[in-house]
């Protein structure tokens, strides 16, 4: 596969956002805001970083990805379908009677490693996977995506302690720090800041990144780990990113757009798509002229 350009991935992100809204609306259920805040991270992970493909879902040496913030499953399903782990048409069955596309991740879906959704579980599971990798001297890495709200669960800090105790430099945790949870701002509900200091104090290497910048995410997620130290990437994100009326509004935590809102969302995304296509056309023109 030829490496896609940053603009091509940006275009993918717009299309992922469109699909997320389409299928959430179709299912009349879903965690809209959090899916939109983490979809650029998933885009970079699945299209650039993770050594996993539909052909290697059972390969013992595949990279593992555990989505601890399981409620943002719509973003994960859309990205997995785009990468060919299951047919895109199956997204029509999201949350429907007897569908395997449940409202939180399960291993019934190709490409999903663990059943998650109750918060504060993914980091311990990932520590277990990374420990096994160390025991077996395996080459795979373990990535997990955490929400900032879920960091109030104490189990995360049990796992954080164990990760540095066991020197798990094959573990990369990413925090989707969108600063909102269902009740309101995380700083008001239960403040987790200063988050970098907390992870530092637990013995982790902390990297911070703009969680919507394809370029930045690629750069930071490609960095080799510090030997013997687990890495946390604090991704600064916006809940509801990409839709003007959703950004920063906690009511979109699991809001489903009505007809009018959906039309507006599609128009905004179409505008974003046109802008990216125009940039791509200009670059192509410059390349031909050069």
Judged by the rule CB under 8 A, the positions of this chain that interact with another protein are 60, 64, 66, 106-107, 113-118, 120-121, 123-133, 135-136, 154-155, 158-159, 161-162, 166
Shortest separation between residue 58's beta carbon and another protein, angstroms: 11
Check if the beta carbon of residue 208 is closer than 8 Å to that of residue 261.
no
Shortest distance in whole angstroms from residue 120 CB to another protein:
8
Local structure of 128: helix, strand or coil: helix
Altogether, the residues listed in the chain come to a count of 290
Nearer Cβ to another protein (63/268) = 63
Angle at 82 between CA 79 and CA 85, to 5 degrees: 90
Instruction: Give the containing element (helix H, strand E) for 21.
Output: helix 6-27
**Closest separation in Å from C-beta 128 to another protein:** 2
Give the span between the Cα atoms of 199 and 169, in whole angstroms. 14
Task: Tell me whether residue 158 or residue 249 sits nearer to another protein (CB atom).
Answer: 158
Structure tokens at 256: 């489903």
DSSP string, 252-286: GGS----HHHHHHHHHHHHHHHHHHHHHHHHHHHH
Is 22 in contact with 30 (CB distance < 8 Å)? no
Residue 217 CB, nearest approach to another protein (Å): 25
In whole angstroms, how close is the CB of 242 to another protein at the nearest point?
A: 31
Query: What is the nearest approach in angstroms of another protein to the Cβ of residue 80?
Result: 17
> Is the Cα torsion angle 252, 253, 258, 259 positive or negative in sign?
positive
């Amino acid at each position: 596969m030829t490496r896609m350009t940053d603009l091509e991935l940006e275009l993918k992100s717009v299309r992922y956002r469109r699909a997320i809204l389409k299928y959430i609306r179709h299912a009349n259920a879903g965690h809209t805001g959090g899916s939109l805040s983490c979809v650029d991270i998933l885009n970079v992970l699945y299209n650039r970083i993770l050594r996993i493909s539909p052909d290697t879902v059972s390969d013992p040496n595949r990279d593992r990805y555990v989505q601890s913030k399981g409620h943002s499953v719509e973003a994960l399903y859309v990205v997995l379908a785009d990468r060919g782990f299951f047919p895109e048409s199956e997204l029509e069955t999201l949350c429907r009677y007897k569908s395997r596309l449940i409202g939180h991740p399960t291993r019934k879906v190709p490409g999903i490693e663990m059943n998650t959704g109750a918060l504060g579980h993914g980091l311990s599971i990932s520590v277990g996977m990374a420990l096994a990798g160390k025991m077996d001297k395996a080459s795979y890495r373990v990535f997990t995506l955490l929400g900032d709200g879920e960091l109030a669960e104490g189990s995360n800090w049990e796992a954080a302690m164990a990760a540095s105790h066991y020197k798990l430099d094959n573990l990369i945790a990413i925090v989707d720090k969108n600063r909102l949870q269902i009740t309101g701002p995380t700083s008001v509900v239960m403040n987790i800041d200063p988050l970098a200091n907390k992870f530092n104090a637990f013995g982790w290497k902390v990297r911070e990144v703009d969680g919507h910048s394809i370029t930045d995410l690629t750069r930071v997620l490609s960095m080799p780990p510090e030997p013997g130290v687990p890495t946390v990437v604090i991704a600064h994100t916006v809940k509801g990113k990409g839709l003007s009326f959703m950004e920063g509004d906690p009511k979109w935590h699991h809001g489903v757009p009505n007809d009018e809102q959906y039309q507006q969302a599609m128009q905004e995304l179409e505008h974003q798509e046109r802008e990216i296509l125009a940039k791509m056309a200009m670059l192509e023109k410059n390349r031909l002229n050069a």
